C-alpha cells in the first residue's frame, strides 16, 4: 500500500492563494470524478476548508501513484491556476508521513487553533463525499476510519480539547459557570447584537440559559438575533431597568465610550437590592467603567481578564501536544503493522496452499504403497500427522521472520524474495 498527499495550508500559504484553490462541495464531487478518470488505479479524498486544501491519494501499486507534481498540477489546473505560481507553497508527503499528517489534521494538532473541534467533522465529510463518488475504497476506508479513532483518543486522553481558548467560550464555561451552578433560572441580558454577542449566546443556550433579553440600538438586528435564540428584545431606553432585573450581563457594543458610568450604575444598583450581578464586558473599548467592578455586589470581567485565561489555556493545550503526538505515532505503528499483515496475507496463504498440495501429493503416493503392504490405519494416520508437522517446521522460519520484521522497511523485499524462492504466482 502506497500513500501520498499534496496540499496548501495556513502554515505556508496566504489566504488569497487558499481562496483561489478552495473547492465547494459540488466542485469536490466533480474534481474527484475527473481524478478517477485520469488516475483510475488511485484512490483519492479531497479536503477543502478555509485553512487548507489537501488531496490524499493511495494505491496498491507504487508505479500507479501519481507524483506530487502531477497531483499538484491536477488541483491547480482545476481552478485554472498555474502550478508554478503556487508550487513553492506546496506541502507534499508520502508513505507513513502522509498517514501521520492525516491523523494530525483529524486530531486538530495541525490546525491554526490547536484543539478546535470543527476539523474532524470536515475530515469525515471529505471522506464521505469520496465514498459517495466511489473514489475511496479499501485503502482510504482503513486510513480515514483510523484517523477518526486517533482523533477520539486525543480528545479523550489529553486536555487539548477541554481547554476553552476563545473569549466567549471562556466567559461562559470558566467564568459564568463558576459563578452560577445552572443557567435555566437566571435572567440574562445581552447588550449589543454583534458576532461576539451571538457567539456568547450560543454558549449560554448550550449551557441551559432560557430567559434572555437583548438590548441594542439597532432594533432590526436585535430582533434577528432574538429570533435565532428565542430571546426577548427590549428598547434601548429600557437598558437601566433591564440591568436592574438581570443576574448576568454580557455587553458587546461598539461604542467608543463607556455606556455605563459608576454614578449611573449606582442608581440602578439601588433598584436591585442586595442581589449580586456578574457582568462580562466583552466590548473594546469597555462598555462599563472599571470602578463599577469595585462595588461589593458586582463581579465585573473585561476582555483583558478573559484573554489572560485564554492565553493560559492555550499554553495548557500546547503542553499536552507531545502526549497527543505520542498517541498519533503509536496509532501509525499499529496501522502500518496491520497493513503489512494484510498485504502479506495472500502470499502466506498461497505458500501454505502450495505446501499442503505438495504434502497431499506425496502422501497419496506413499499411501498406495503402504496399503499394498497391509499397513494398519493407525500407522497411516501417524504418517499423515508427521507429514503435516514436517511442512509446518519447514514453513516456520520464513513465516516467523516475516512476523518479526512486520514493522521493518525490509518487509516488502522479504515478501518478494519469498515469492521468488517458492515460485508463488498470483
- The CA distance from 102 to 90, in Å, is 16
Q: Tell me 176's DSSP state.
A: I
Q: What is the DSSP string of 231-287?
A: -EEE-GGGHHHHHHH-SEEEE----SS-SB-HHHHHHHHHHHTT--EEEEE--SS-S
- For cell 499534496, name the residue: 6
Beta carbons within 8 Å of 9's beta carbon, 6+ residues apart = 18, 51, 52, 53, 54, 91, 110
Q: Tell me 173's DSSP state.
A: I
Return the C-alpha cell found at 54.
489537501
Residue 342 CA: distances (Å) to CA of 52, 62, 346, 347, 401 = 32, 17, 8, 10, 16
- The CA distance from 40 to 67, in Å, is 15
Strands 187-191 and 277-281: unpaired
Strands 91-94 and 2-9: antiparallel
User: Is-cis flag, bond preceding 285, omega within 30?
Assistant: yes
- Among candidate residues 50, 57, 131, 242, the one labeled active-site is 50
For the sheet with 211-215, list strands across it: 232-234, 211-215, 187-191, 248-251, 277-281, 298-302
Report helix, strand or coil for 288. Answer: strand
Beta carbons within 8 Å of 57's beta carbon, 6+ residues apart = 3, 4, 5, 39, 42, 43, 44, 65, 66, 71
Q: Say if residue 383 is exposed, middle or buried (CB neighbours under 10 Å; 0-12, 13-18, 19+).
A: middle
Tell me, yes or no, if 57 is annotated catalytic.
no
Which residues are catalytically annotated?
50
Amino acid at each position: 500500500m502506497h500513500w501520498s498527499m499534496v496540499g496548501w495550508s495556513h502554515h505556508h500559504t496566504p489566504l488569497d492563494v487558499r481562496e483561489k484553490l478552495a473547492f465547494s462541495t459540488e466542485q469536490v464531487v466533480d474534481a474527484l470524478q475527473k481524478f478517477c478518470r485520469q488516475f483510475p488505479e488511485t484512490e483519492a479524498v479531497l479536503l477543502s476548508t478555509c485553512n487548507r486544501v489537501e488531496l490524499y491519494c493511495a494505491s496498491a501499486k507504487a508505479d500507479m501513484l501519481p507524483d506530487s507534481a502531477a497531483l499538484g498540477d491536477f488541483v491547480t489546473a482545476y481552478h485554472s491556476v498555474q502550478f508554478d505560481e503556487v508550487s513553492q507553497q506546496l506541502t507534499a508527503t508520502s508513505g507513513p508521513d502522509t498517514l501521520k499528517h492525516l491523523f494530525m489534521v483529524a486530531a486538530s494538532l495541525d490546525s491554526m487553533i490547536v484543539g478546535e473541534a470543527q476539523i474532524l467533522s470536515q475530515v469525515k465529510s471529505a471522506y464521505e463525499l469520496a465514498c459517495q463518488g466511489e473514489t475511496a475504497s479499501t485503502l482510504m476506508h482503513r486510513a480515514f476510519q483510523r484517523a477518526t479513532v486517533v482523533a477520539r483518543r486525543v480528545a479523550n486522553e489529553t486536555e487539548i480539547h477541554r481547554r476553552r481558548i476563545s473569549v466567549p467560550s471562556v466567559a461562559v464555561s470558566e467564568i459564568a459557570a463558576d459563578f452560577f451552578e445552572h443557567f435555566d433560572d437566571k435572567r440574562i441580558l445581552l447588550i449589543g447584537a454583534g458576532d461576539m454577542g451571538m457567539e456568547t449566546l450560543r454558549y449560554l443556550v448550550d449551557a441551559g440559559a432560557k430567559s434572555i433579553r437583548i438590548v441594542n440600538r439597532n432594533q432590526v438586528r436585535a430582533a434577528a438575533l432574538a429570533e435565532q435564540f428565542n430571546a426577548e428584545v427590549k428598547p434601548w431606553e429600557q437598558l437601566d431597568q433591564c440591568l436592574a432585573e438581570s443576574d448576568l450581563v454580557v455587553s458587546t457594543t461598539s461604542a467608543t465610550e463607556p455606556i455605563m458610568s459608576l454614578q449611573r450604575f449606582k442608581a440602578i444598583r439601588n433598584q436591585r437590592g442586595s442581589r449580586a450581578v456578574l457582568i462580562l464586558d466583552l466590548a473594546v473599548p469597555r462598555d462599563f467603567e472599571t470602578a463599577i467592578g469595585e462595588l461589593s455586589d458586582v463581579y465585573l470581567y473585561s476582555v483583558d481578564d478573559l484573554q489572560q485565561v485564554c492565553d493560559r489555556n492555550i499554553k495548557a493545550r500546547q503542553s499536552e501536544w507531545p502526549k497527543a503526538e505520542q498517541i498519533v505515532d503509536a496509532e501509525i505503528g499499529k496501522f502500518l503493522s496491520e497493513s503489512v499483515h494484510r498485504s502479506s496475507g495472500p502470499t502466506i496463504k498461497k505458500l501454505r496452499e502450495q505446501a499442503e498440495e505438495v504434502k497431499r501429493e506425496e502422501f497419496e503416493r506413499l499411501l498406495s504403497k503402504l496399503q499394498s503392504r497391509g499397513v494398519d490405519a493407525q500407522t497411516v494416520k501417524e504418517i499423515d500427522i508427521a507429514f503435516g508437522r514436517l511442512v509446518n517446521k519447514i514453513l516456520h522460519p520464513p513465516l516467523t521472520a516475516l512476523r518479526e520484521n512486520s514493522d521493518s522497511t525490509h518487509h516488502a523485499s522479504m515478501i518478494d524474495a519469498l515469492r521468488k524462492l517458492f515460485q508463488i504466482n498470483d
